[in-house]
């Protein structure tokens, strides 16, 4: 929803009703990740996407129906071997899509959530997407220190549920995670269920928790020509990119116009100043290949819980760098976190080709990719190991 938040806020501010269809579960080669959204307003205008085109028409109709009836719905889309013309995913995957009508001013949680998302304030939306009919669509918007809305049409039975949902949503917000959560009506964690056959009768509730946090950071150390290309591709991938170099003649905004910020400072000193602003999604690209900059920086970086640390340099530079890191006290396990020489072996020569190589390794590391050509295998195209390990439960069914 984050990518369409500005338009949603405009609709909301004008008092226009709309419906939001959100991908809340995927399996197989589904085209979009959980959290992808399509919205339709009362006049029929559509923004966003849930499938890249496969089922947009059917979801559009579900949104119009939700606006007309005021009733949320969970719908599953998959591939149908029996009917080649049926609405479904030609890739063979499965999408679970939750469609929720929104009437400005009617739901404090959605009102607050849309405002927070559009302003860039970190917030998690916890929505009930499967369970007792009376609770379907109930939402709370959770920030670091407060929450808006309520799950309680019957407070005596759902106070514990709301308390647990808020606590879990806040933890997921802190980690920047989006996914499903199954709780009992008393707030206790429950075993995931297939809601196509059970669910409500078992007294459980499935939440879809969407965390909206600032863009992940990419810190590029070394204001060289290769860095300019890495900055451009980092922005393309959605990172907030900072360039840092101790040499003011090179670290200028004119040389890096697409960077969010350019900092003149010693790399290790700048990194230490940013400890409160980096997290497990942060990527560090060390492109200086100069020991006086690299060693103090990597000594600190390889002990931080960041997503990726890569360093440029030849094989000889890599071996010398590792020896120096051992001399300053890093363990083999800590040095083993360093991706060096940075990038995949694409035969890259130019700065732009090198940036593609670096970006490819970052994506593969994040998503659990094999780095082999897709044509070399016959397994699933999408095999996001990091997400699979984090997801709380499998997809809910309609």
Output the pLDDT for position 372: 86
Confidence check: pLDDT of 86 > 80: no
Output the pLDDT for position 382: 58
Confidence of residue 82 (pLDDT cuts 50, 70, 90): very low
Instruction: Tell me if 244 sits within 8 A of 233, measured CB to CB.
Output: no
The answer to whether residue 379 sits within a structural domain is no
Confidence check: pLDDT of 371 > 80: yes
**Domain limits for position 100:** 2-212
Confidence of residue 394 (pLDDT cuts 50, 70, 90): very low
Q: Clarify whether residues 99 and 8 are in a common domain.
A: yes
Question: Residues 48-63: what's their mean pLDDT?
Answer: 86
Question: Residues 11-34: what's their mean pLDDT?
Answer: 86
Confidence check: pLDDT of 84 > 50: no
Residue 311 belongs to a domain with what CATH number? 3.40.50.720
Question: Residues 47-70: what's their mean pLDDT?
Answer: 89
Domain count, the chain: 2
Q: Clarify whether residues 191 and 228 are in a common domain.
A: no
Helix (H) or strand (E) holding 182: strand 179-184
Strand, coil or helix: what is 294?
helix
Output the pLDDT for position 375: 86
Q: Clarify whether residues 265 and 234 are in a common domain.
A: yes
Tens of pLDDT, residue by residue over 292-327, are 999 999 999 999 999 999 999 999 999 999 999 999
Output the pLDDT for position 157: 55
Instruction: Tell me if 215 sits within 8 A of 242, measured CB to CB.
Output: no
Confidence of residue 31 (pLDDT cuts 50, 70, 90): low
Confidence check: pLDDT of 207 > 90: yes
Tens of pLDDT, residue by residue over 112-162, are 999 998 888 899 999 999 988 888 999 999 998 899 998 865 555 578 889
Dihedral, CA of residue 228, residue 229, residue 230 and residue 236, to nearest 10 = 110
The answer to whether residue 386 sits within a structural domain is no
Question: Residues 7-20: what's their mean pLDDT?
Answer: 94
Output the pLDDT for position 45: 96
d(CA 207, CA 44): 28
The answer to whether residue 59 sits within a structural domain is yes
Q: Clarify whether residues 190 and 276 are in a common domain.
A: no
Confidence of residue 201 (pLDDT cuts 50, 70, 90): very low
Question: Residues 171-197: what's their mean pLDDT?
Answer: 78
Instruction: Tell me if 187 sits within 8 A of 151, measured CB to CB.
Output: no
Q: Clarify whether residues 162 and 271 are in a common domain.
A: no
Output the pLDDT for position 369: 85
Question: Residues 173-191: what's their mean pLDDT?
Answer: 86
Output the pLDDT for position 193: 57
Output the pLDDT for position 215: 83
Nearest to 207 by CA among 177, 244, 174: 177
Contacts of 127 (CB under 8 A, 6+ apart): 98, 100, 137, 138, 139, 207, 208, 209, 210
Q: Clarify whether residues 206 and 230 are in a common domain.
A: no
Confidence of residue 203 (pLDDT cuts 50, 70, 90): confident
Average pLDDT, the chain: 86
The answer to whether residue 381 sits within a structural domain is no
Output the pLDDT for position 393: 34
Q: Clarify whether residues 13 and 157 are in a common domain.
A: yes
Output the pLDDT for position 89: 52
Bridge-partner residues for 100, per DSSP? Answer: 20
Q: Clarify whether residues 190 and 223 are in a common domain.
A: no
Output the pLDDT for position 397: 32
Higher pLDDT, 301 or 203: 301
Helix (H) or strand (E) holding 320: helix 315-327
Nearest to 207 by CA among 306, 128, 260, 281: 128
Q: Clarify whether residues 193 and 300 are in a common domain.
A: no
With 0-12 CB in 10 A as exposed, 13-18 as middle and 19+ as buried, what is 152? Answer: middle
d(CA 377, CA 339): 25
Confidence check: pLDDT of 93 > 80: no
The answer to whether residue 119 sits within a structural domain is yes
Full DSSP string of 332-376: HHHHTTEE-S-S--S---SHHHHHHHHHHHHHHHHHT---S-GGG
What's this model's pTM, rounded to 2 decimal places? Answer: 0.65
Higher pLDDT, 398 or 150: 150
Q: Clarify whether residues 226 and 139 are in a common domain.
A: no
The answer to whether residue 358 sits within a structural domain is yes
The answer to whether residue 390 sits within a structural domain is no
Output the pLDDT for position 192: 64
Among 181, 212, 243, the domain-final residue is 212
ω into residue 341 within 30 of 0, thus cis? yes
- For the beta sheet containing 283-286, the strands, ordered from the edge strand earlier in sequence to the opposite edge, are 261-264, 240-245, 217-221, 283-286, 308-311, 338-339
Q: Clarify whether residues 194 and 326 are in a common domain.
A: no
Contacts of 327 (CB under 8 A, 6+ apart): none
Output the pLDDT for position 27: 78
Confidence of residue 85 (pLDDT cuts 50, 70, 90): very low
Tens of pLDDT, residue by residue over 231-279, are 999 999 989 999 999 999 999 999 999 999 999 999 999 999 999 888 8
d(CA 90, CA 88): 6
- The encoded tokens of residue 44 equal 């029929």
> Residues of the chain with pLDDT > 70: what percent?
85
Output the pLDDT for position 74: 94
Output the pLDDT for position 90: 53
Among 212, 245, 265, the domain-final residue is 212
Q: Clarify whether residues 186 and 331 are in a common domain.
A: no
The answer to whether residue 314 sits within a structural domain is yes
């Amino acid at each position: 929803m984050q990518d369409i938040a500005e338009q949603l806020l405009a609709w909301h501010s004008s008092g226009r009703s709309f419906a939001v269809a959100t991908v809340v579960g995927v399996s197989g080669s589904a085209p979009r990740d959980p959290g992808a959204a399509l919205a339709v307003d009362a006049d029929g205008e559509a923004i966003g996407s849930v499938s890249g085109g496969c089922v947009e028409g059917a979801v559009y109709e579900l949104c119009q129906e939700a606006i007309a009836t005021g009733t949320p719905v969970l719908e599953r889309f998959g591939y149908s071997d029996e009917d080649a013309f049926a609405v479904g995913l030609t890739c063979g995957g499965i999408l679970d899509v939750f469609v929720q009508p929104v009437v400005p001013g009617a739901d404090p949680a959605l009102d607050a959530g849309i405002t927070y998302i559009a302003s860039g304030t970190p917030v998690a939306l916890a929505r009930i997407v499967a369970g007792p009919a009376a609770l379907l669509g109930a939402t709370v918007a959770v920030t670091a220190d407060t929450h808006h809305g309520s799950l309680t049409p019957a407070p005596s039975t759902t106070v514990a549920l709301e308390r647990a949902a808020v606590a879990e949503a806040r933890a997921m917000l802190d980690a920047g995670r989006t996914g499903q959560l199954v709780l009992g009506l008393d707030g206790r964690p429950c075993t995931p269920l297939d809601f196509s056959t059970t669910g409500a009768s078992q007294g459980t509730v499935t939440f879809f928790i969407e965390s909206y946090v600032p863009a992940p950071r990419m810190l590029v150390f070394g204001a060289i020509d290769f860095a300019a290309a890495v900055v451009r591709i980092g922005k393309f991938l959605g990172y907030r990119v900072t360039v840092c170099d101790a040499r003011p003649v090179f670290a200028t905004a004119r040389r890096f116009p697409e960077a969010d910020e350019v900092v003149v400072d010693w790399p290790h000193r700048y990194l230490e100043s940013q400890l409160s602003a980096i997290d497990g999604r942060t990527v560090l690209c060390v492109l200086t290949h100069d020991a006086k900059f690299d060693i103090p920086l990597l000594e600190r970086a390889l002990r931080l819980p960041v997503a990726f640390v890569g360093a440029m340099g030849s094989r000889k530079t890599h071996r010398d760098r590792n020896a120096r890191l051992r001399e300053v006290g890093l363990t083999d396990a800590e040095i083993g976190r360093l991706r060096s020489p940075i990038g995949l072996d694409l035969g890259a020569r130019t700065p732009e080709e090198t940036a593609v190589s670096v970006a490819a390794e970052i994506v593969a590391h994040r998503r659990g990719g094999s780095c082999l050509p897709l044509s070399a295998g016959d397994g699933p195209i999408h095999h996001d190991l990091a997400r699979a390990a984090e997801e709380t439960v499998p997809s809910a069914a309609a």
